[in-house]
Amino acid sequence: MNVRVAMRFWVRDLWEGIRSEPGRVGLSFLAVAIGFTALTLLLAVLDGLRARAQDLVRDLGANVIAVVAEPQGRDAAPVLSRRQADRLAGQLPECRCSALRRYDVRLPGDKRTSVTVLATDERLLPLRGWALEAGRNLDRRDVEEGARHIVASSALARRWGAGVGGLVSLEQVSFRIVGIMSVGGAGLEQEEGHSRLQAGELAVLVPYSAPIAWGDETPESAGRADAVFIQVPPGRAPEDLLPVARNLLEAAGVSWITPEVLLRGVRRWQQAVRLAGGSIALLCLVLGGTTLMSLMVANVRDRMNEIGLRRALGATPADVARLFTAEACLVTGLAALAGMLVAALLVEVVRRRFGVPLQLQGATLGWPVAAALVLGILFSHWPARLAARISPSEALRNE
Amino acid sequence: MTHGAAVLGMADVRKSFPSPAGRVEVLRGVDLEIRRGEFVMVTGPSGSGKTTLLNLAALLDFPTSGRLTFQGRELAGLAEDSLCDLRKRAIGVVFQRFCLLPRRTALENVLFRFRYVGGAEAETRRAALAALDTVGLAALADRPVRVLSAGEMQRVAIARAVALRPELLVADEPTGNLDAASTAAVMDCFRRLNVEGLTVLLVTHNEGLLRYATRHLVCVEGTLNP
């Protein structure tokens, strides 16, 4: 058959099929669209969790172990020290190690905003995978000489209105900006229980040996580190090195954080959402499909004349079955589109108003479309078969 | 008037249907041969088996027993697809209540004849318009059928049935719902088509139409008598 003519016939048939019983079609559409909204929301939650997992791994570093000291009193002996980190670096020459001490200081002229000061060495920035946007990183000489040099986050540099080479003041001590970096942390920042790993938007790196005016050091706590990072060489999993590092560091009262530890929580959520949300979405889709099926059976009974006419004009049983299947697929396809649209709006609203990390990726939207086709074919199978099995003379008897 | 080769043949055709009281035999050994160019009219009381006979003639049903042939070809054991092919091109059917698609125009209804046949768009359109012209409705081609009169609707149905130039035109009470003027217009269409060579088998209650036929058969209690 001429393709153009065939297409025209199909479009007309489907359009009239849908228009023949607008109430029934509307009800089926609504029932299926609710199912697809639920399915798309589930996918958005799973996409959000997947993105979150990627953020976490990217922020920490895919091959990084973080050793974080538990909070302790200011006079207590340090559970984690820079000396331990240096010793670890000597014993694990294939790894890159860096320690940091974290301070929160007030931004000059703004009592409500604090800046995260990370007292560290030149190895932290590349180890954490933070990008240098301008200037340079701290270097060995800065650290050895205790230079008043800082690498500022781009947000902070903007706030100060200063660039590379500019002089800025932190707690009345002047520092020169030698570099501007972009700090990661969208993932870790939101991770409860790992706040010591956070850098925040407004952060600076200073050499740990630089004179500071904001510390609360006592002789007992001098040399304390809040966290030590160990970067495992490519090709080795952080989890493999973990027992060795534990033995070497001999530190108590610390948390050992690896990408695997970070992902464990996200994976638990993924599993829970997949099970609970998946069941709800499946139930909604099955309910929608069942509604579609029952209404299609009623449609078949009401369209006996049309079926008889088609058979009298030479339609085969397969032609009749195809017509009803195509109508069902059209309804489920349109319902899927509507469901996706509603879900996308909800995702946007929830993300903007409540900050929930929902996300809908383009490729993910292929699933509802595929599910629409499967649903249409599956739930129209029986009505379509019913229509195909009606003999033409029986169908026309109603005429 | 001389007629050509046999188009439809029935030999000792029987048809029965199941019912709560057991099988009901509707046709009881029907013998019939319709030759090309004939205009056969079947009359008979309600329940005599006229419509069942017509369904068999239109290849919409199979006999329970007996021999049914179309253009000399035995139909028993014919695959469903082959039967559908015959229905597509060789048979035209006209129904008592027209069986039109109400949302479509007259032309679109006639074009529906090509739904399972296809063909080039211009060609099918030309054939559909020619069929409408044959029944005198070319001027109403673009009018939705729901606004046409009953007689005009039936003529659209006739145009649809003959748009593919079938071998046999089968009509079940085509004037059953029409007034006298519309009946005359519709019957004139049938006669004109028959004169042009189309074979017609028509079932009716209306014995006043017998003058249009070249042969008259009476169906009584499942048998066909001259």
pLDDT tens digits, residue range A293-316?
998 898 888 888 889 999 999 999
Give me the residues of A, 285-314, that contact B with CB < 8 A.
305-306, 308-314
Let me know if residue A48 belongs to a domain: yes
For residues A153 and A277, state if they share a domain.
no
SS3 B222: coil
For residues A10 and A109, state if they share a domain.
no
Q: Which domain holds residue A171?
A: 64-231
Chain B residues touching residue A15 (CB < 8 angstroms): none
Give me the residues of A, 1-60, that contact B with CB < 8 A.
1-2, 4-6, 8-9, 12-13, 16, 19
pLDDT tens digits for range B99-151: 898 889 999 999 999 888 877 888 889 999 999 998 888 999 999 999 999 88
Asked whether A325 and A376 are in contact (CB, 8 A), the reply is yes
For residues A317 and A177, state if they share a domain.
no
Among A231, A257, A281, identify where a domain stops: A231
A391 touches chain B (CB under 8 A): yes
pLDDT of residue B139: 92
- Integer Cα distance of B105 and B210 in angstroms: 32
The reply to whether residue A396 touches residue B55, judged by beta carbons under 8 angstroms, is yes
A398 touches chain B (CB under 8 A): no
Let me know if residue A200 belongs to a domain: yes
Q: Exposed, middle or buried: residue A31 (CB in 10 Å: 0-12, 13-18, 19+)?
A: buried
pLDDT of residue A395: 83
Measured distance between the N- and C-terminal CA atoms of chain B, rounded to whole angstroms: 18
The reply to whether residue B118 touches residue A312, judged by beta carbons under 8 angstroms, is no
Q: What is the mean pLDDT of residues A71-97?
A: 77
Let me know if residue A256 belongs to a domain: no
Let me know if residue A153 belongs to a domain: yes
pLDDT of residue A237: 80
User: A307: nearest CA in chain B?
Assistant: B99
As given in the structure block, the two tokens for residue A286 are 């099955």
For residues A7 and A154, state if they share a domain.
no
Band of residue B201 on the pLDDT scale cut at 50, 70, 90:
very high
pLDDT tens digits for range B75-107: 887 888 888 889 988 999 998 888 898 889 999
A367–chain B nearest CA distance, Å: 34
Look at residue A398 and tell me whether its pLDDT is greater than 80: no
Which letter does DSSP use for residue B198 in this model?
-
> CA–CA distance from A302 to each of A24, B103, B177 (Å)?
12, 16, 22
- Integer Cα distance of B115 and A316 in angstroms: 12
Q: CA B41 from chain center: how many Å? A: 11
Q: What share of chain B has pLDDT > 90, as a percent?
A: 54
Chain A to chain B Cβ contacts (< 8 Å):
79
Let me know if residue A79 belongs to a domain: yes
A317 touches chain B (CB under 8 A): yes
The reply to whether residue A19 touches residue B81, judged by beta carbons under 8 angstroms, is no
- Integer Cα distance of B28 and B10 in angstroms: 12
For residues A113 and A213, state if they share a domain.
yes
The dihedral through the CA atoms of A327, A329, A330, A334 has a sign that is positive
Q: What is the mean pLDDT of residues A165-191?
A: 78
pLDDT of residue B96: 84
pLDDT of residue A53: 82
What does pLDDT average to over chain B? 90
Please tell me which of the candidates B97, B103, B113 has its beta carbon nearest to residue A313: B113
Chain B residues touching residue A399 (CB < 8 angstroms): 95-97, 99
Q: DSSP assignment of B49-112, as one string?
A: SHHHHHHHHTTSS--SEEEEEETTEE-TT--HHHHHHHHHHTEEEE-TT----TTSBHHHHHHG
Measured distance between the N- and C-terminal CA atoms of chain A, rounded to whole angstroms: 29
Band of residue A281 on the pLDDT scale cut at 50, 70, 90:
confident
Look at residue A211 and tell me whether its pLDDT is greater than 90: no
For residues A310 and A379, state if they share a domain.
yes
All structural domains of chain B, each given as residue ranges with its CATH number in brackets, are 6-225 (3.40.50.300)
Please tell me which of the candidates B52, B84, B99 has its beta carbon nearest to residue A305: B99
Look at residue A252 and tell me whether its pLDDT is greater than 80: no
Let me know if residue A309 belongs to a domain: yes
Please tell me which of the candidates A13, A319, A393 has its beta carbon nearest to residue B55: A393
B84–chain A nearest CA distance, Å: 5
Chain A residues touching residue B81 (CB < 8 angstroms): 316
Please tell me which of the candidates A305, A306, A316 has its beta carbon nearest to residue B81: A316
> CA–CA distance from B7 to each of A59, A218, A246, B79 (Å)?
84, 115, 97, 20
Q: What share of chain A has pLDDT > 90, as a percent?
A: 23
For residues A20 and A117, state if they share a domain.
no
pLDDT of residue B141: 92
3-state secondary structure B155-197: HHHHHHHHCCCCCEEEEECCCCCCCHHHHHHHHHHHHHHHHCC
Chain B residues touching residue A311 (CB < 8 angstroms): 60, 84, 87
Band of residue A260 on the pLDDT scale cut at 50, 70, 90:
confident
- Integer Cα distance of A258 and A50 in angstroms: 17
Asked whether A42 and A288 are in contact (CB, 8 A), the reply is no
- Integer Cα distance of B88 and B115 in angstroms: 9
- Integer Cα distance of A36 and A29 in angstroms: 10
pLDDT tens digits for range A13-70: 888 877 777 888 888 899 889 989 988 988 888 888 888 888 777 777 768 888 888 7
Chain A residues touching residue B57 (CB < 8 angstroms): none
Asked whether B108 and B99 are in contact (CB, 8 A), the reply is no
B136–chain A nearest CA distance, Å: 23
A24–chain B nearest CA distance, Å: 18
pLDDT of residue B20: 87
The reply to whether residue B116 touches residue A16, judged by beta carbons under 8 angstroms, is no
Angle at the Cα of B189 from the Cα atoms of B188 and B193, rounded to 5 degrees: 115
A363 touches chain B (CB under 8 A): no
Measured N-to-C along each axis, helices A22-60 and A3-20 cross at an angle, to the nearest 10 degrees, of 110
Let me know if residue A250 belongs to a domain: no
pLDDT tens digits for range A354-374: 877 788 887 778 888 899 999
- Integer Cα distance of B137 and B132 in angstroms: 5
Chain A residues touching residue B52 (CB < 8 angstroms): 393
Q: What amino acid occupies position A227?
A: A
- pLDDT: which is higher, A260 or B185: B185
pLDDT of residue A75: 59
Please tell me which of the candidates A9, A16, A313 has its beta carbon nearest to residue B87: A313
Chain B residues touching residue A312 (CB < 8 angstroms): 58, 60, 87, 91, 93, 99
- Integer Cα distance of A106 and A115 in angstroms: 6
| C-alpha torsion angle, residues B9, B14, B15, B19 (rounded to 10) | 170
- pLDDT: which is higher, A298 or A263: A298
The dihedral through the CA atoms of B98, B99, B105, B107 has a sign that is negative
Look at residue A221 and tell me whether its pLDDT is greater than 70: no
Look at residue A326 and tell me whether its pLDDT is greater than 60: yes
For residues A215 and A292, state if they share a domain.
no
As given in the structure block, the two tokens for residue A120 are 């560290």
For residues A171 and A275, state if they share a domain.
no
Chain B residues touching residue A1 (CB < 8 angstroms): 117-119
φ and ψ of A386, to 5 deg: -60, -45
The dihedral through the CA atoms of A121, A123, A124, A125 has a sign that is positive
For the beta carbon of residue B48, count every other beta carbon within 10 angstroms.
20
Please tell me which of the candidates A4, A16, A316 has its beta carbon nearest to residue B80: A316
For residues A169 and A285, state if they share a domain.
no
User: A5: nearest CA in chain B?
Assistant: B121
Band of residue A216 on the pLDDT scale cut at 50, 70, 90:
low
Chain A residues touching residue B58 (CB < 8 angstroms): 312
Q: DSSP assignment of B11-33, as one string?
A: EEEEEEE--TTS-EEEEEEEEEE
Let me know if residue A259 belongs to a domain: no
Number of H helices, E strands in chain A: 13, 10
For residues A83 and A211, state if they share a domain.
yes
For residues A155 and A171, state if they share a domain.
yes
Q: What is the mean pLDDT of residues B22-49?
A: 91
Mutate to test the interface with B, among A2, A4, A5 (most CBs of B within 10 A): A5
Comparing C-alpha atoms, which of A97, A100, A225, A206 is closest to residue A145?
A206
The reply to whether residue A1 touches residue B117, judged by beta carbons under 8 angstroms, is yes
Band of residue A218 on the pLDDT scale cut at 50, 70, 90:
low
Look at residue A186 and tell me whether its pLDDT is greater than 70: no
Asked whether B127 and B161 are in contact (CB, 8 A), the reply is no
What is the predicted ipTM? 0.90
The reply to whether residue B87 touches residue A4, judged by beta carbons under 8 angstroms, is no
Comparing C-alpha atoms, which of A64, A21, A49, A107 is closest to residue A256?
A64
Q: What amino acid occupies position B136?
A: G
Q: What share of chain A has pLDDT > 70, as a percent?
A: 90
Give me the residues of A, 234-253, that contact B with CB < 8 A.
none
How many domains does chain A contain in total?
A: 2
The dihedral through the CA atoms of A234, A238, A239, A241 has a sign that is positive
Among A183, A208, A231, identify where a domain stops: A231
